[in-house]
Chain A
Amino acid sequence: MSDDFSPKNFLSDSTPARISVGRAGTRPKTDAWLRFRADHALARDAILSELRDDFVEDFVKAKGYPFIKTIVESKEEFIQFPPKGKVVSAQTLLDVKKMCPADIDVQIVVSDGLSARAVEKNISDLLPMIEDGLNLHKISFGLPIFVRYARVAVGDQLGFALNAKLVVNLIGERPGLSSSEGLSAYITFHPSPQTISSDRTVVSNIHDRGTPPVEAGAYIVKLIKTILERKVSGVQLQKLS
């Protein structure tokens, strides 16, 4: 009983941050140091991770979702030249237009971003939840498009090409030392080449220890419904009264 309620556990239980880990002289204790190194390694691995073949086969292809990539050729290039992650080639865009229905309310895009692992971990719960919700509210949506080496803005190009009223990009978040499996949803009304960051509404921290993916899915549907009704997203949505 006294252990459960000691101030240390009581405080450290309330946050995943590294507090009250103790010290040995001027250095962290060995176990705290090793845990820090391990978490840092996980974060680095997550950034360098690729969508695994079995995930692509068993989920993306099995469901018949298009799987494309940006103009980036490798993970290294993706990290070294961030703007390239926002663009797909003209040929890819033609392919997409052939495969995907256009003139829809919502285009869903799934991007590896800075953590392919986050996509693998959360998307099989998040995506069907969003699809269910859109069906329930009779909001039309096309084929979700999976994109390799992609950043948030790639959704603008795809949504614009397919003449979608709204695009939602589900993308792996920049990993931190507490979680490398967090996913974010960027929702943009009337995506176009003119879209800027303040036009986007964001739901972040989607993972088991943050907002559970199923709950986030239902919440994103409610946001989408509101944004379609108000015809505005991002900072402008917050300003509406």
Chain B
Amino acid sequence: MTSFLSVGIDVGTTSTHLTFTRLSIGNSGTVNQSPMPVIDNREIVFQSEVHLTPLKSDGTIDAEGVFAIVQSEFENAGIKASDITIGAAIVTGETSLKRNAREVLEKLSRISGELVAVSAGPHLEAILSARGSGAVASSLQKSSTILNIDIGGGTMNLALYKNGTLLSTSCIGIGGRCLQFNTDLSLKSCTDGGIAYLRRKNMSAEIGTTYDLVQLQSVAEDIVSDVADFIIDDRKHSLLHSLPLTNPAEEYVERGQIWLSGGVPEFLIAQDLDRFAFLDMGGLLADAFASNFARNTIDYQISKNPVRATVAGAAMHSMQVSGATIDFDINYLPLRSVPLLKPFSASLSQLSDETIYRQIEASVKRFDTENKCTTFAIELPEFTPSEMRYDGLLQIAGSLASAAEKLAHLRPWILVCRQDLGMALGQSFRKRLSDCPLIIIDGVQTGDGDFIDIGKPVSLDQNNIAQTLPLVLKTLVFNQKHTSM
């Protein structure tokens, strides 16, 4: 069996931690069939301590500090950076912290092996935490509907799954750190969300103010009550709508189970933990969730190891493997953060060579106005049955080769398709254009991925006949519209 080591690094609003996982690749095809690789086992090798995320005085992340934590945890785990085949580092949570996320991730990507995916964005965070909490697996196994809510310091990430299939995600810009206190429980700082909810209760948001427990509990209950409304009926307007909030979920009409993950629900497991252990609203929010759900008879459960859900998801589930009959020029691998272009809306046989070339060119220009990038992955539309026949495929491969000839500065030429056609497409492409460095990946569902990391090939047999490429699909990391979240 082929296996390799993966690392997940989660730098959150409140906490930073790592998980090392061993992933195994197996063949789900039958003996004589062409191989179908899948990740068939995920084993946690080492989990780090949960560290408080080091911050600088301006409230941004202390990149040096995070770097030191990660380095020391590699040592604790007894794992060398060179042992890591693939990994995902992710900065999660609140916007203000994310201002220097790029700096943090770039620094981290230098230590952790060949290929460290740097990914973030509320959509991906929600998915990773739902996968890491076990909600997705449970939804698949029991054919049930589960809403996973990952409650962190800065945000709450929601992901709704049915039968293991993602229906929607959303993100609410408030979390345990909406109010932070000094050791005497006077107000140390607060986010916009914290201020909004204090004002609604006619409470002062002035730094240094002290509150009594009942007041703070009522603030927590207000927040949770609005969150519950948001979950059950997102048309109901609340204070939450004045906060950063992404694509309100598809209505959660159909009552499934709710799973809680993230740092805040840790308080529900550790009932005797001081509710102000982290000098923020985490403890009170956790209690408010429990009592609100009990009052409304909402079925919920707390995931195993809630605070580690996102990091477990990042280590174990951010990666997929390509089909095994693919075509690639190994000298160009690995590749990191290749922009994934989707230039075509019609099926390719409908388009002339010229149109296919123009659409690729336009798509490249839209992404790269300054003409700086030379590596793009082009996602092909689904092939129709006639396009999967010899003549149809040859025509399409010819068109793509002709576009590759004209766009000679874009090398290697990378194509991505969903159906099992990679090797055939590669061979037909080479019939027309033999000396073009080529990487063709099949069996991949890109979803709304914007960038793709392509690892070095992993062999499924001793003769290297069937090889698969580890892939990480990433959503936009530093795009303006996303960082506003």
Chain A residues within CB distance 8 Å of chain B? 2, 5, 7, 10, 124-125, 128-129, 132-133, 136, 184, 202-205, 208, 210-219, 221-223, 226, 230, 237-238, 240-241
| Inter-chain contact A208/B428, CB cutoff 8 Å | no
Contact A215/B424 with A7-B143, A128-B390, A202-B32 known, Cβ cut-off 8 Å: yes
| Inter-chain contact A218/B32, CB cutoff 8 Å | no
- Could you say which of A10, A132, A205, A213 contacts B32, with CB atoms under 8 Å apart? A205
Q: Across the interface, which residues of A come within 8 angstroms of B239, CB to CB?
A: none
Contact A7/B163 with A132-B427, A184-B32, A219-B325 known, Cβ cut-off 8 Å: yes
Give how many A-B residue pairs fall within 8 Å (CB-CB): 90
A214 to B389, CA, bound (A): 7
24 sample A-B contacts, Cβ–Cβ < 8 Å, listed by A number: A2-B254, A5-B162, A129-B424, A133-B427, A136-B431, A136-B434, A205-B30, A210-B33, A211-B33, A212-B421, A214-B393, A214-B424, A214-B428, A215-B422, A215-B424, A218-B327, A218-B423, A218-B426, A219-B34, A219-B325, A223-B465, A226-B465, A238-B461, A241-B462
Q: Across the interface, which residues of B come within 8 angstroms of A5, CB to CB?
A: 162-163, 165
Q: Across the interface, which residues of A come within 8 angstroms of B434, CB to CB?
A: 136
Q: Across the interface, which residues of A come within 8 angstroms of B464, CB to CB?
A: 226
- Complex: chain B residue closest to A239, CB-CB: B462
| Inter-chain contact A125/B427, CB cutoff 8 Å | no
Q: A203-B32, A215-B420 are in contact. List 5 more A-B contacts (CB 8 A).
A: A204-B33, A208-B388, A214-B424, A215-B421, A237-B463
B328 to chain A, nearest CB (A): 12
B330 to chain A, nearest CB (A): 14
| Inter-chain contact B463/A218, CB cutoff 8 Å | no
User: B419 an interface residue at 8 Å Cβ cutoff?
Assistant: yes
A20 to chain B, nearest CB (A): 12
Question: What 6 A-B pairs have minimum CB-CB distances, sorted nearest first?
Answer: A218-B423, A7-B143, A214-B424, A204-B32, A202-B32, A125-B390
Contact A10/B143 with A132-B431, A222-B465, A226-B463 known, Cβ cut-off 8 Å: yes
Chain A binding surface SS class: helix
| Inter-chain contact B463/A240, CB cutoff 8 Å | yes
B14 to chain A, nearest CB (A): 36
B15-38 contacts to A, CB under 8 A, are: 30, 32-34
| Inter-chain contact A205/B462, CB cutoff 8 Å | no
| Inter-chain contact A124/B390, CB cutoff 8 Å | yes
A226 to B467, CA, bound (A): 13
A213 to B464, CA, bound (A): 21
How many B residues touch A, CB cutoff 8 Å? 33
Q: Across the interface, which residues of A come within 8 angstroms of B422, CB to CB?
A: 215
User: B430 an interface residue at 8 Å Cβ cutoff?
Assistant: yes
Contact A219/B423 with A125-B390, A208-B385 known, Cβ cut-off 8 Å: yes
A125 to B383, CA, bound (A): 15
A54 to B247, CA, bound (A): 58
B388 to chain A, nearest CB (A): 5
B35 to chain A, nearest CB (A): 9
B225 to chain A, nearest CB (A): 28
From A125, A208, A215, A216, residue with most partner B Cβ within 10 Å: A215
Q: Across the interface, which residues of B come within 8 angstroms of A223, CB to CB?
A: 465
A184 to B325, CA, bound (A): 17
| Inter-chain contact A217/B424, CB cutoff 8 Å | yes
Q: Across the interface, which residues of A come within 8 angstroms of B388, CB to CB?
A: 208, 212, 214
Q: Across the interface, which residues of B come within 8 angstroms of A219, CB to CB?
A: 34, 325, 423
B148-198 contacts to A, CB under 8 A, are: 162-163, 165
- Could you say which of B30, B165, B325, B385 contacts A218, with CB atoms under 8 Å apart? B325
Q: Across the interface, which residues of B come within 8 angstroms of A212, CB to CB?
A: 388, 419-421, 424
A206 to chain B, nearest CB (A): 9
Q: Across the interface, which residues of B come within 8 angstroms of A230, CB to CB?
A: 463
A10 to B143, CA, bound (A): 8
- Complex: chain A residue closest to B142, CB-CB: A7
Q: Across the interface, which residues of B come within 8 angstroms of A204, CB to CB?
A: 30, 32-33
Q: Across the interface, which residues of B come within 8 angstroms of A184, CB to CB?
A: 32
Q: Across the interface, which residues of A come within 8 angstroms of B463, CB to CB?
A: 226, 230, 237, 240
B347 to chain A, nearest CB (A): 16
